[in-house]
Amino acid sequence: MSDILSLSLEDKLYRTKYEPDAAHPHIRVNSDYCVKCGDKPCLFFCPAQVYKPNPNDANLVTVSHENCLECGTCRYGCPFQAIDWQNPDGGMGVKYRYG
């Protein structure tokens, strides 16, 4: 078994499976607040890098739901409370493959 500390984020995320619920996403970002946020702390506080700069508009972020580990950090990390994070509906969301 490889040393878990030496694995890249992508390797660690591979150890999870995400069952998306396209009709009811569990993360929503209020772009009205996002545009006003200069520091974009969401790009740094998420341990799974769910939030990334939007390639079409540097003032916005994109959400990679499939990376979410459902830790809930984003509920507290956004200074504008622009991130609405809810537990996914039953049977959806993260399903751990290993350990």
Cα–Cα distance, 83 to 87 (Å, whole number):
13
**Top-confidence residue, 92 or 30:** 30
What structural domains does the chain harbor?
Answer: 23-85 (3.30.70.20)
Per-residue confidence (pLDDT) for residue 61, from 0 to 100: 93
Per-residue confidence (pLDDT) for residue 2, from 0 to 100: 52
> In this model, does residue 53 exceed pLDDT 90?
yes
Average pLDDT for 13-42: 84
